[in-house]
Amino acid sequence: MLDICFINCDLKYETEAVVKLFFPLEHFGFLYDEENVGDEYIIIENVPGQTVGIRLKIGECERNEAVSSGENAKETEENVCRALYLILSEFTGKKPEWGALTGIRPVRKINSLLDEGKARNEIFGILNEKYFISEGKFSLCYDTALNQRLALKTLDNNSISLYVGIPFCPSRCSYCSFVSHSITSKGAMKLMDGYVRKLTEELKLIADAVNGTPFYINTVYFGGGTPTALSAEDLSRIISVVRQEFDLRGCEEFTVEAGRPDTIDRDKLCAMKEGGVTRISVNPQSLSDSVLKKIGRIHTVDRFHEAFELARKTGFDNINCDTIAGLPGDDEQGFENTLKELIKLSPEGITVHTLTVKTGARLAGSSRDAFADDSAVSRETKLARRLLSDSSYLPYYLYRQKNTIGNLENTGYSKKGYECLYNIYIMDETQNILAAGCGGSTKLVAPGGKIKRVLNYKYPYEYISRFDKMTEYKRQGLKNDLLSLCKTYNAERSNL
């Protein structure tokens, strides 16, 4: 095991992210005392106001370098990460496509450079010099920034997104680390019933806080889990509460991430359509029955096609389909086939994820051989971009996660005019989001970008049993916070 040791500093998150670029499945020991380091180590020692020393021994590679401290902690952190990146790149011969850029929202960096009036080649120069980003990833990121710019530039400060979490799924996918509750488990129906009651209560509390303020809802997003794991009646009940309690006259988009094709039927589609849902996801992940079986999805390719067709017949004219590159049992040919078949169906959006294996997922214990080779998955994401752009799908939102094969990205593509606003806003972190339900994260964004986050419980039983405690803020603090945010926005506007 590789030990990473810090003296006079703690750059655990940043260092781990850089080292993982080169040793993705390695486990590290984190220490704060160099006497205890093992045979292979990276020691980072900060001498305040002077230099940061990097001493490293991994296999045949032994280095001892001094990196200059930056003018502030952020700059020092970037200097250390860059130096470590260069050492490891030289030692392993690897040149990660995203370079040393490890954050989950790379598009934001481009957006802020565009705001400064910088041109494409200048922005590439800055990011390439600072993070060694490749031209290919830069181009994807830059195009994504351009395609979301209109949505961000026209975003009204007084608009809010409403997120509703449904933490149930029909079965557990092998790559899933989400705390979704399988509806096949004992007692699931009772739990779902109690959950829906509490969820509607929480929605009413949020509505009480928003109503009477200048804020209005402009997007609604039901995510999960699988919202259509609920019965048509429960789905309809929750949608009705949203419609009755909130003023949705300014609502531009109402998404239900239906997700699993095996949970979609005519009654649920009608409940969503009648409830004013404008966008849904029907996610096959793969169009190979053997891959679906291997990853624990209990639907077939035919079932996906039925669900998609039924959604079209019910009148849904904005459907997104998710796919994943690098699934166990899949290969480049299989992934290409999935994409081509999906493109033939002409959904308005196709999201291309890269497999992420997080702790907590069943797959996490598998050996490296169980996963596709990094370079094969990289070719798949490039192929996706080419095939989708040849069919007029444009990248409009992008994010990265830890522990993704090849450190690659997840990219949402859509036909022009069908970009999901909620996805853009949540990745940019500039809009207020009010969240109800399990795993919900309410975010209030002050001018200048400071975010106040209030988290809900992740598990349904906790959500139900500790509901009163959890919703205290929504009863007592949320309305005041919204009103004072409003005052700050107004003051900011009048200073312009």
Please name every residue paired with 351 in a beta bridge, in sequence order, or none if there are none. 322, 412
Q: Which of residues 159-218 bind ligand SF4 (CB under 6 A)?
A: 169, 172-173, 176, 178, 180
260 belongs to the binding site for ligand SF4 (CB under 6 A):
yes
Cα–Cα distance for residue pair 479/458, rounded to 1 Å: 24
- Comparing CB distances to ligand SF4, the nearer of 394 and 420 is 420
Residues in the chain: 496
Q: Could you tell me the smallest distance in angstroms from the CB atom of residue 182 to ligand SF4?
A: 8
Minimum CB distance to ligand SF4 smaller for 2 or for 363: 363
Residue 325 is a binding residue for ligand SF4 (CB under 6 A) = no
User: Binding to ligand SF4 by residue 299, rule CB under 6 A?
Assistant: no
Residues contacting 390, CB < 8 A, separation 6+: none
Task: Pick between residue 114 and residue 179 the one whose CB is nearest to ligand SF4.
Answer: 179
Paired tokens of 17: 């992210």
Asked if residue 225 binds ligand SF4 (CB under 6 A), the reply is yes
DSSP letters, 78-138, are HHHHHHHHHHHHHHH----TTTT---S-HHHHHHHHHHTT--HHHHHHHHHHHH---HHHH
To ligand SF4, the closest distance from the beta carbon of 389 in angstroms equals 27
**Smallest gap, in angstroms, from Cβ of residue 361 to ligand SF4?**
9
Is residue 241 within 8 Å of residue 197, measured between CB atoms?
no
Judged by CB under 6 A, the residue of 259, 326, 395, 406 near ligand SF4 is 259
The nearer residue to ligand SF4, 176 or 242, going by C-beta atoms, is 176
Structure tokens at 247: 């003023």
For ligand SF4, the closer CB: 173 or 239: 173
Q: Which two tokens stand for residue 236?
A: 């309809």
226 binding ligand SF4? (CB under 6 A): yes
Give 85 or 178: the residue with its C-beta nearer to ligand SF4: 178
Binding mask 432-471 for ligand SF4 (x = CB under 6 A): ----------------------------------------
Torsion of CA 269, 272, 275, 281, to 10 degrees: -140
Does 482 interact with ligand SF4 (rule: CB under 6 A)? no
Residue 172 Cβ, how far from ligand SF4 at the closest point, in Å?
A: 5
DSSP state letters, 62-78: EEEEEEE--SSHHHHHH
Q: Count CB-CB contacts under 10 A for residue 129.
A: 10
| 8 A C-beta contact, residue 30 and residue 12 | yes
β-strands 349-354, 409-414: how paired? antiparallel
- Distance in Å, CB of 294 to ligand SF4, minimum: 13
Is residue 320 near ligand SF4 by the rule CB under 6 A? no
Residues at the contact surface with ligand SF4, assessed by CB under 6 A: 169, 172-173, 176, 178, 180, 224-226, 259-260
